[in-house]
Amino acid sequence: MSGLSEKFRLPVACPSCGSHRMGVSQVKNPDDKAFCTSCSRFVCLYHEAGTVLQQGSGSEALIVQAANRGDC
Ligand SMILES: [Zn+2]
């Protein structure tokens, strides 16, 4: 997996370990899954992460909902 993903920081913490460091494939398709780089938990889709990065803390619920879907 190393070298095939790009890391970024998400305002919302990983629900499992609290890390803010996420990884996504370098292709960065909107439907690519973003994973916590610490515990490899699915957190959200890349386009959902992009929404939060653009809109800030007001959209954190989007990530929480995505993480709770658990569609990994
Ligand atoms: Zn984690």
How many domains does the chain fold into? 1
pLDDT at 36: 96
Ligand 1 centroid distance, CA of 55 (Å): 22
Residue of higher predicted confidence among 70 and 17: 17
Report for 1-5, 42-46, 52-56: range of highest mean pLDDT: 42-46
Ligand 1 centroid distance, CA of 45 (Å): 15
Neighbours of 4 (CB within 10 A): 9
Residue 50: give the domain boundaries: 5-69
CA proximity to 41, closest of 3, 2, 72, 1: 72
pLDDT in tens, 23-45: 999 999 999 999 999 999 999 99
Reduced to 3 states (helix: H, G, I; strand: E, B; else coil), residue 1 is coil
Characterize the bridge pairing of strands 21-25 and 5-9: antiparallel
Q: Please, are residues 52 and 71 in contact by the beta-carbon 8 Å criterion? A: no
Ligand 1 centroid distance, CA of 59 (Å): 19
